[in-house]
């Protein structure tokens, strides 16, 4: 049988689709839209092998729309325009259901390739469904992203993956004829890294390599059958997420030796250096912040440098940045401050800004008190005038608590001299 097991078992309807209940379950975000055929242009974002392509196919089938597909790996602007022209023709003049254009790995499209999609999406000639393993905020141009809804697909959990294996044994025309006992699954799940496609294909490989009629799947058997090369760094699989997590946590934990090791793992595995540099930018603010503001400058310069230089020389720049960040004092105070502030905003809604600090560009606004009694800080001693800046309902709420390090201790002393009686510094 030439067709891989993962392809033979690909779900054909929502009823067969495993996981992603938040999107396509009984109360899922997309469930009613799919049933009604009211599908917006959207981006499906999540790890590999979790059903992005399958979901796109099901959406087209359930909504009874023409379906066109492109892979960003081997498609250019010409291919995009040809498909859009076909889609426009297949849509016809008397239908409200425009065709679906599915683009796999849309993050690999250049800016010009993504630009070529804008008019078709804007005019409604096609409904775009893009699939990506990378953060759309970084990899999809803003103009296209603003025209699409982004839906996050979660990684499969253990129960989901075991359900897939059970379905394979019961429903596949080939495997259902064999006597298979699934005694242990840990090794299978570990080797597949949460990738359902890889899980099923490895499972079939093990079954096919077995010489006896009775097949008992154990961790030992899986380990014996799977060669060591399946454990290599896979920049689109579990290792991609595990190792970047280990890198970030090593830097956060101030261990430059571990951090450089994981950097080497990623570089040797062919990881995109800009992906690494972007994560360092986030870390510089989230985990170091005002304890060493230069960290953000270094991380930003690193991102710019590796974007210009590329591989392999960028490894040196990344190593310098990573060791600097690991050796920097740490503070998550800025990160915690915005988290707290957003939580309060969600709880309290749109509170009124104090009249004294509102903008007053018109005569009417000035007459009704906008900007009245505002105290211009630079007109006072030490460039400070005590006044209320927060909405009345949350007055005295402290969001920023400086960390315990030299720089932020200076921040605390600065704030204490001005706001101790208000915020308790």
Give dist(CA 130, CA 144) in Å, integer: 11
Per-residue confidence (pLDDT) for residue 222, from 0 to 100:
86
What tokens does 53 get?
């392509």
Query: Does one domain contain both 45 and 119?
Result: yes
Question: In angstroms, how far apart are the furthest CA atoms of the chain?
Answer: 91
Helix (H/G/I), strand (E/B), else coil: 101: strand
Host H or E run for residue 49: none
Is 48 among the domain residues? yes
Residue 12 counted as domain residue? no
CATH classification of the domain holding 257: 1.20.272.10
| Average pLDDT over every residue of 200-213 | 83
Helix, strand, or coil (residue 359)? coil
Average pLDDT estimate for 289-298 = 96
3 assigned to some structural domain: no
The H or E element that residue 216 is part of is strand 214-217
Same domain for 303 and 217: no
Question: What is the pLDDT at residue 72?
Answer: 83
């600065």: which residue's tokens? Answer: 414
Residue 231 has pLDDT above 50, yes or no: no
Most confident range (mean pLDDT) of 181-195, 207-221, 283-297, 347-361 is: 283-297
Res. 93: pLDDT tops 50: no
**132 lies in some domain:** yes
Q: Which residue's structure tokens are 């325009």?
A: 81
pLDDT on residue 195: 84
At residue 342, the pLDDT reads 92
User: Does 241 have pLDDT greater than 90?
Assistant: no
Domain-ending residue, one of 124, 152, 180: 152
Find the domain containing 105 and state its range.
20-152
Same domain, 373 and 401: yes
- Whether the CB-CB separation of 3 and 10 falls below 8 Å is answered with no
Q: Residue 213 — pLDDT band, cuts 50, 70, 90?
A: confident
CA 266, 269, 271 angle in degrees (round to 5)?
60
Q: Which two tokens stand for residue 197?
A: 């496609």
First to last CA, the chain: 71
**pLDDT-based confidence at 165, cuts 50/70/90?**
very high
- pLDDT value at 94 more than 70: no
The label of the residue with tokens 């001299």 reads 417
Decide if 368 is inside a domain: yes
Predicted pLDDT at 315: 94
For residue 56 the two structure tokens come to 């796109």
- β-strands 67-71, 127-132: how paired? unpaired
Residues 369 and 409 in one domain: yes
CB burial of residue 25 (10 Å; 0-12, 13-18, 19+): middle
Q: How many Å apart are CA 35 and CA 14, to the nearest integer?
A: 10
The burial of 204, by beta-carbon neighbours within 10 Å (0-12 exposed, 13-18 middle, 19 or more buried), is given as buried
Lowest mean pLDDT among 221-225, 331-335, 404-408: 221-225
The whole-number pLDDT of residue 286 equals 95
pLDDT at 230 over 50: no
214 and 256 belong to one structural domain = no
Cα dihedral across residues 11, 181, 198, 164: positive or negative: positive
Q: What is the mean pLDDT of the chain?
A: 88
- The C-alpha angle 263, 339, 412, rounded to 5 degrees, equals 90
Whether the bond into 312 is cis, omega within 30 of 0: yes
Q: pLDDT at position 221, please?
A: 86
Question: What is the DSSP pairing of strand 179-182 with strand 100-104?
Answer: unpaired
pLDDT at 66 over 90: no
pLDDT class for 47, splitting at 50, 70, 90? confident
**52 and 110 inside one domain:** yes
State whether 301 and 252 are in the same domain.
yes
Q: What is the pLDDT of residues 339-380, one digit of tens each?
A: 999 999 989 988 889 989 988 878 777 887 888 889 999 999
Last residue of a domain, one of 152, 175, 200: 152
**In angstroms, rounded to a whole number, what is the distance separating the alpha carbons of residues 182 and 196?**
17
**267 three-class SS:** helix
User: Could you tell me which residues are beta bridge partners of residue 68?
Assistant: 101
Residue 86's pLDDT is 84
* CB neighbours of residue 348 within 10 Å: 12
- CATH assignment at residue 81: 3.40.50.300
What is the domain count for the chain? 4
């Amino acid at each position: 049988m030439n067709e891989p097991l993962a392809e033979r078992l690909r779900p054909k309807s929502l009823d067969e689709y495993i996981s992603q209940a938040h999107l396509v379950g009984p109360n899922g975000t997309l469930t009613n839209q799919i049933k009604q055929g009211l599908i917006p242009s959207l981006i499906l974002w999540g790890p590999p092998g979790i059903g992005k392509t399958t979901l796109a196919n099901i959406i087209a089938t359930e909504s009874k729309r023409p379906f066109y597909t492109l892979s960003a790996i081997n498609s250019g602007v010409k291919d995009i325009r040809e498909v859009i022209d076909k889609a426009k023709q297949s849509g016809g003049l008397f239908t409200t259901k425009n065709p679906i254009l599915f683009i796999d790995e849309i993050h690999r499209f250049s800016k010009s390739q993504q630009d070529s999609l804008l008019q078709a999406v804007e005019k409604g000639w096609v409904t775009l469904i893009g699939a990506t393993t990378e953060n759309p905020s970084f990899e999809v141009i803003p103009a296209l992203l603003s025209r699409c809804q982004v839906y996050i697909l979660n990684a499969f959990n253990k129960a989901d993956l075991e359900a897939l294996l059970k379905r394979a044994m019961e429903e596949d025309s080939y495997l259902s004829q064999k006597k298979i006992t699934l005694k242990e699954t840990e090794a299978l799940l570990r080797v597949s890294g949460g990738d359902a496609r890889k899980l099923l294909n490895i499972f079939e490989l093990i079954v096919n390599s077995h010489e006896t009629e009775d097949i008992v799947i154990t961790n030992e058997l899986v380990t014996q059958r799977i060669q060591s090369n399946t454990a290599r760094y896979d920049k689109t699989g579990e290792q991609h997420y595990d190792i970047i997590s280990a890198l970030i946590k090593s830097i956060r934990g101030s261990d430059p030796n571990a951090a450089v090791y994981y950097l080497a793992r990623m570089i040797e595995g062919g990881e995109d250096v800009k992906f690494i540099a972007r994560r360092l930018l986030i870390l510089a603010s989230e985990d170091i912040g005002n304890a060493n503001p230069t960290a953000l400058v270094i991380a930003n310069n690193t991102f710019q440098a590796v974007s210009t230089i590329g591989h392999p020389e960028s490894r040196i720049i990344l190593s310098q940045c990573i060791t600097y960040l690991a050796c920097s004092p740490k503070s998550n105070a800025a990160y915690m401050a915005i988290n707290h502030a957003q939580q309060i905003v969600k709880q309290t809604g749109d509170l009124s800004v104090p009249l004294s600090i509102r903008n007053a560009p018109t005569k009417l606004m000035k007459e009704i008190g906008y900007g009245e009694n505002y105290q211009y800080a630079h007109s006072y001693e030490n460039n400070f005038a005590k006044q209320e800046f927060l909405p009345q309902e949350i007055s005295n709420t402290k969001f920023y608590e400086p960390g315990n390090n030299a720089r932020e201790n200076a921040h605390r002393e600065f704030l204490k001299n001005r706001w101790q009686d208000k915020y308790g510094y």
